[in-house]
């Protein structure tokens, strides 16, 4: 009987969480002016950075209102973050970057590299709350950290080949003009910011993670209001719309190689 109760309780909590996210999406009203959405995004990102910190493994954690254990942690907004012209923000975590190899190797991540990445990413809608932009309708985008625990190779939101003779089947077999373009799949702000990091020197997939940092992509540097690929990484019954959604990535790059094309 106790087990049945726990199953019912777990199911109820899941239903409540999913329903709240659904309700948030259903009540979201898209601003007519995209500049207003951009402003909401920037305000929501600032609020998010004030309300979260990095734990000892580099995971993003929310500050607790009741537990004092995290009182001495630095807010994300207090770390050495950088903002790119696109509005994308990145944080290179101190003490979690690849060591200098001997002999020295170029571990800088290039825009067309093949790479393996351990990653957790959520998407959000930024809306007006109490007169200020705030994130709502959180949805898992991809999660290899709490999922199978194995880095993913070349996720399509990072890179997709449009090289003649080497075109990705998604582009090669596309039936619309939009789907024939890399921008239909790639989150440009993520790719742009990832180039500010170095990859680890092809460490094993079984190596325990120590996340290198954070990339926060406002909707204008993701898909904004453009057509996009119907991603379904999180296993939803049907893909959710990424229109107007901002993204928060928490990650470690396990290895990179120059792509031969």
Residue written as tokens 């089947």? 169
Domains recognised in the chain with CATH numbers: 34-257 (3.10.50.40)
Q: What angle do CA 88, 146, 223 make, to 5 degrees?
A: 30
* Rounded-to-integer distance, Cα 239 and Cα 229, Å: 9
Q: What is the pLDDT of residue 25?
A: 61
Question: Which tokens is 42 given?
Answer: 């920037």
Q: What is the pLDDT of residue 16?
A: 38
* Rounded-to-integer distance, Cα 46 and Cα 77, Å: 7
* Rounded-to-integer distance, Cα 252 and Cα 181, Å: 27
Do strands 152-153 and 81-83 pair parallel, antiparallel, or not at all (unpaired)?
A: unpaired
Peptide bond before residue 103 is cis, with ω within 30 degrees of 0: yes
H or E element in which residue 222 lies: none
Label residue 100 exposed, middle or buried (CB < 10 Å: 0-12, 13-18, 19+).
exposed
Q: What is the pLDDT of residue 15?
A: 37
Q: What is the DSSP string of 115-135?
A: EEEEEEEEEEEEEEETTEEEE
Question: Which tokens is 123 given?
Answer: 């998407």
Q: What is the mean pLDDT of each run of 10 residues along the chain (261 residues)?
A: 37 41 68 97 98 98 94 97 98 95 87 97 96 95 92 97 96 98 98 97 96 98 98 84 98 96 86
Q: What three-state secondary structure class fits 101?
A: coil
Q: What is the pLDDT of residue 48?
A: 98
- 143: DSSP letter: E
Chain centroid to CA 152: how far? Answer: 13
Q: What is the pLDDT of residue 20?
A: 47
Q: What is the pLDDT of residue 7?
A: 36
Label residue 138 exposed, middle or buried (CB < 10 Å: 0-12, 13-18, 19+).
middle
Q: What is the pLDDT of residue 26?
A: 61
Question: Which tokens is 248 given?
Answer: 């928060």
With CA atoms as reference, report the closest residue to 158 among 178, 179, 140, 142: 142
Residues 6+ apart with CB under 8 A from 84: 90, 189, 192, 193, 221
Query: How many residues are recorded in the chain?
Result: 261
Residue written as tokens 């109760």? 5
Q: What is the pLDDT of residue 102?
A: 78
Model confidence pTM above 0.85: yes
Q: What is the pLDDT of residue 8?
A: 34
């Amino acid at each position: 009987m106790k087990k049945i109760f726990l199953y019912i309780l777990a199911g109820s909590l899941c239903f409540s969480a999913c329903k709240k996210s659904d309700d948030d999406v259903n009540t979201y009203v898209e601003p007519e002016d995209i500049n207003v959405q951009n402003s909401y995004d920037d305000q929501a990102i600032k609020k998010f950075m004030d309300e979260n910190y990095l734990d000892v493994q580099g995971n993003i954690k929310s500050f607790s209102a009741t537990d004092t254990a995290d009182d001495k942690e630095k807010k994300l907004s207090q770390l050495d973050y950088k903002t790119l012209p696109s509005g994308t923000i990145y944080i290179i975590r101190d003490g979690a970057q690849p060591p200098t190899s001997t002999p020295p190797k170029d571990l800088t991540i290039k825009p067309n590299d093949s790479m393996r990445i351990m990653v957790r990413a959520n998407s959000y809608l930024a809306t007006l709350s109490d007169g200020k932009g705030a994130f709502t309708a959180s949805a898992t985008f991809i999660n290899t950290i709490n999922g199978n625990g194995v880095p993913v190779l070349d996720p399509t939101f990072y890179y997709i080949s449009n090289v003649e003779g080497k075109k990705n089947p998604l582009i090669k077999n596309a039936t619309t003009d939009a789907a024939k373009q890399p921008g239909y799949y790639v989150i440009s702000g993520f790719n742009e910011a990832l180039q500010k990091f170095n990859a680890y020197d092809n460490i094993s997939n079984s190596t325990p993670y120590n996340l290198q940092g954070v990339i926060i992509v406002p909707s204008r540097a993701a898909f904004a209001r453009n057509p996009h690929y119907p991603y379904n990484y999180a296993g939803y019954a049907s893909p959710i719309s990424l229109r107007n959604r901002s993204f928060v990535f928490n990650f470690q790059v396990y290895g990179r190689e120059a792509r031969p094309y």
